[in-house]
Amino acid sequence: MSDLIQSINVGDIIAERYEVKEVMGRSELGLTCLVQSPRTHENFLVKQLSFPCDEAKTEEINQFITPLRRIEHRSISSLKDFVVENGVGYVVMEYIDGETLESHLASRRERGQILGLKAAYSFLANLCIGLDLVHQAGYAYGCINPHTIFVTKQGRIRIANYACAAIAERYLPDAQRNTYFGGPFAAPEVKAARFQAKPPSDVYSLGLLFAELLSTTSLSEYTGSNETFVASIPGVTTSVKELLFQAIQTEMGERFKTAQAFKDTLKRAIDAPGDSDLSSIVVGVNDLRALSVSADMPVIDPAMVRKPDLFDTDSEKTPSRNIKPEVWIFQKDGMDYGPFDHDALIQKFYDEVITESTSVFNTSTKARQNLGSIPEFEKEVIDYLPLREKNRAQRLAEQKKKEKRIKAGGFSAALIIVGAVAAVLLIPVIILALKPAPEALDFIGAFKPFEKRFEVPKVEEMSLNVDDSQAKALFDPKATEAEREAAYAKWEAEHRKKYAGMRRPKGEKAGVHGGLGEEIDTIVFTGEDGEELEPLQDWEIEEQCMSPRIYRKYNECFVNYAGGRHMNVTISFTIQQSGVVRNFSTTTSGELNDCLISALSSIKFRQFGGMTKKVKLPVSY
């Protein structure tokens, strides 16, 4: 770690804007301080950079962090300012009052509490939505881990340091950069010297982070590989683990392209709620109350070796502010709302969103009471009750008057409408009565032949042929594990050999062959960029649906839900030209039906021209 280019002490003023309240720790990138604006009394975190900033470097940093300063999201700790004083750079960031995710998970594990699958997805989804904004700005984080993610005292999850990561990636010497971006959560390409992180690099970190949320141990304490760590997660289906394996592939091109794609695929696999139903509060009131004071806000010990960019601080050392703290969360219809300060919460009472009987939780004292029994609110509640009853009586009287006017007006309007309708109906009768009698015409000659012909949209149906002898070897319930693995290995070798020769060399025109030797008549469509799209060949469908990976999923479904019975099941689905698979159905039902559909739902084909494919796949067990 390089020496800091200028010492900082409590009471120092930075750039005539920020007073240093506490020196918190250091990393390869520099020194971290808690500061306060003397004008607004608002707290911030400041990172003093460990390298000098001349005029040219200052201009460079200002240019590339400008898009990052515009990012505003509830799961992102915002970048507030970048100032330079006497050749020293200072990154000013939002202060997060809470604990690191590492500390939060450690507290849960000590109490024997592990996150459920959908709760862990809520954590991850909030992170993915915020990271997607960083990616859209043209940057990637590169070193997401439990040290750089915070759980606030209100139960929200926030990403910190994304601007610092971008600066470290560009300006730290190789040795310091490798230490800064080290650790098991960093993707292999990020650990390589001078590689700029990409969105798939963050997907790698997110995949391991999701496994960390569900695991009974921390990845930093795990002695095995990342792959075995994911495989060891308890209580998670094979399909979810396969998504995580895809996210942590060594080759960047084999992972999900974006955090959004990873989140959406994971949401379908675990049947999680959509983004519109996603709460920003990922830690419930009961979990907040269960945290001890020391775990909720770790005490700063100067003698401790600090983790890089660990921004936790003792709540007792936090300077007082002239604003009311947002510590109140109320519960309504089984949901937590908040946090609110005193004025905002009492306004909810005045607006009759809540009542004096509403359960309210104080995140600071960890106490839960009805609003009317909290001393801080008791007088305001009592004073407002007579006015509320008066307002309700007035609203009720006005509502009755309105209903009476509506009934009277409705009767008059009904009479007018009936008269108007009768008049309109009489007009055609009068016109017909005044018209001369019509002359008969030749019916055939009265209409010109319609030259166009409509056709029903074409759907090509196909049924995949399965080798019964091979299928019996794969799905034989009496086979040993070794025999079944040997059958899988033989199937995989035959599968690869069969389809290796069917891949069309680059540059070969569509329509020359169908992959299985037959001549085909192509229907050509184009993609968004105008490029011609080839029809989807039958062998391409067979290659996906009969792959060893998918057959393993079939076997898992039969072993778990077929009850040892011999079964013949046909799975039907439709492949749209976009490559998306829809309209799943099977000839079975219950959990076996759901499992087989889930096994095929991860298949994705390329975009293609021609007709929609309707496929039937027979499977025997």
* CA-to-CA separations, 538 to 105, 137, 175, 545, in angstroms, rounded: 49, 41, 52, 11
Amino acid letter for position 471: A
Q: Order of strands across the sheet with 581-586?
A: 459-463, 612-620, 568-575, 581-586
CA dist., res. 76 & res. 79, Å (int) = 9
Question: What residues form DSSP beta bridges with 568?
Answer: 620
Name the phi and psi angles at 101, rounded to 5.
-60, -35
SS (H, E, C) 562-596: CCCCCCEEEEEEEECCCCCEEEEEECCCHHHHHHH
Burial of 226 (0-12, 13-18, 19+ CB in 10 A): buried
Could you tell me the pLDDT band of residue 298, with boundaries at 50, 70 and 90? very low
For 198, the 3-state DSSP assignment is coil
CA dist., res. 462 & res. 450, Å (int) = 35
Q: Residue 295 above 50 pLDDT?
A: no
Q: Which CATH architecture has domain 13-296?
A: Orthogonal Bundle (1.10)
- If one compares 336 and 509, the residue with the highest pLDDT of the two is 336
Share of the chain above pLDDT 70, in %: 79
CA dist., res. 254 & res. 616, Å (int) = 29
- So what's the pLDDT on residue 520? 40
Handedness of CA 325, 326, 332, 335 (dihedral sign): negative
Residues carrying CATH 3.30.1490, the chain = 324-403
List of E strands, 147-205:
149-152, 157-159
- If one compares 427 and 285, the residue with the highest pLDDT of the two is 427
* CA-to-CA separations, 514 to 76, 260, 466, 524, 573, in angstroms, rounded: 50, 35, 19, 14, 21
Please tell me the number of Cα atoms within 13 Å of 336 on its side-chain side. Answer: 25
For 244, the 3-state DSSP assignment is helix
Tens of pLDDT, residues 330-369: 888 767 777 888 888 888 898 888 999 999 888 888 788 8
For 156, the 3-state DSSP assignment is strand
Amino acid letter for position 586: T
State how beta strands 459-463 and 612-620 pair. Answer: parallel
CA dist., res. 34 & res. 319, Å (int) = 10
Question: What residues form DSSP beta bridges with 25?
Answer: 32
Q: Which helix (H) or strand (E) covers residue 22, if one does?
A: strand 18-27
Name the phi and psi angles at 369, rounded to 5.
-145, 165
Residues carrying CATH 1.10.510.10, the chain = 13-296
CA dist., res. 396 & res. 406, Å (int) = 15
* CA-to-CA separations, 255 to 125, 187, 250, 345, 415, in angstroms, rounded: 17, 11, 8, 45, 69
Burial of 94 (0-12, 13-18, 19+ CB in 10 A): middle
For 350, the 3-state DSSP assignment is helix
Picking from 94-103, 282-291, 418-427, 612-621, which range would have the lowest pLDDT averaged per residue? Answer: 282-291
Tens of pLDDT, residues 520-538: 444 445 555 556 778 888 8
Answer left, alpha or beta for residue 559, where phi above 0 means left and psi between -120 and 50 means alpha.
alpha
* CA-to-CA separations, 350 to 138, 324, 343, 347, in angstroms, rounded: 45, 19, 10, 5
CA dist., res. 346 & res. 391, Å (int) = 17
* CA-to-CA separations, 584 to 266, 287, 344, 537, 599, in angstroms, rounded: 19, 39, 49, 20, 11
Q: Residue 549 above 60 pLDDT?
A: yes
Query: For the chain, what is the mean pLDDT?
Result: 78
Picking from 180-189, 284-293, 369-378, 450-459, which range would have the lowest pLDDT averaged per residue? Answer: 284-293
Of 546, 542, 494, 549, whose CA–CA distance to 516 is shortest? 542
- So what's the pLDDT on residue 521? 42
Q: Which CATH architecture has domain 324-403?
A: 2-Layer Sandwich (3.30)
* CA-to-CA separations, 322 to 42, 326, 363, 403, in angstroms, rounded: 9, 13, 19, 49
- So what's the pLDDT on residue 290? 45
Could you tell me the pLDDT band of residue 96, with boundaries at 50, 70 and 90? confident
Q: Residue 554 above 90 pLDDT?
A: no
DSSP structural state of residue 263:
H
- So what's the pLDDT on residue 527? 55
**What count of residues does the chain have?**
621
Share of the chain above pLDDT 90, in %: 12
Q: Residue 236 above 60 pLDDT?
A: yes
Name the phi and psi angles at 368, rounded to 5.
-120, 130
CA dist., res. 272 & res. 275, Å (int) = 9
Q: Residue 449 above 90 pLDDT?
A: no
- So what's the pLDDT on residue 261? 92
Q: What share of the chain is helix, strand, coil (3-state, %, to 5)?
A: 45, 20, 40
Could you tell me the pLDDT band of residue 301, with boundaries at 50, 70 and 90? very low
CA dist., res. 107 & res. 585, Å (int) = 45
* CA-to-CA separations, 237 to 8, 114, 419, 423, 583, in angstroms, rounded: 51, 16, 68, 69, 23
- So what's the pLDDT on residue 542? 81
- So what's the pLDDT on residue 565? 73
Could you tell me if 229 and 211 are in contact, meaning their C-beta atoms sit under 8 angstroms apart?
A: yes
